[in-house]
Amino acid sequence: MDEKYSVLESSANLFVQIFGLVGAFFAFWTMFVRNLVSRQEVCDMIKTQTPYSQDRTFIMERLNDNKETMASLFEALNKNTEVMSELKVQISVLSKTLETLENRIERS
């Protein structure tokens, strides 16, 4: 009979150990695994909850404003260059006219 009780006792111990392992796995799952976030959830959080995403619209607007400002400054610079070229031509014409007038005055 001792053998029969020792087999039952070892079966009971095996059952208790298996039950303990199942309980430990269940506790681990409820404490840690269940609360883990998925890759998609992390991507969604990064897109919507980071400071950069909140400022992204503002940054993009500022970049567009800077592009427009640079374009208008470039256009103004080109116009100023054209005006300077015209002024150089006018100055040289006036210089020639003044020279001609001086020569006429000297001849008279």
Summarised one tens digit per residue, pLDDT across range 10-38 is 777 777 888 888 888 888 777 776 777 77
Does any domain span residue 95? yes
Determine, yes or no, domain membership for 22: no
Residue 46 lies in a domain: no
The rounded distance, in Å, linking the Cα atoms of 35 and 27 is 12
Examine the pLDDT at 88 and tell me if it is beyond 80: yes
Residue 71 belongs to a domain: yes
Structural domain including 82 reads: 54-108
Contacts of 53 (CB under 8 A, 6+ apart): 46, 47
Average pLDDT of the residues in 60-80: 91
Query: Would you list the DSSP string of 2-20?
Result: HHHHHHHHHHHHHHHHHHH
Domain-located, residue 100: yes
pTM of the model: 0.43
Residue 38 lies in a domain: no
pLDDT at residue 79 above 90? yes
pLDDT at 53: 67
Q: How many domains does the chain have?
A: 1
Distance of CA 12 to the CA centre of its chain: 61
Q: Residue 5: inside a domain, yes or no? A: no
2 falls within a domain: no
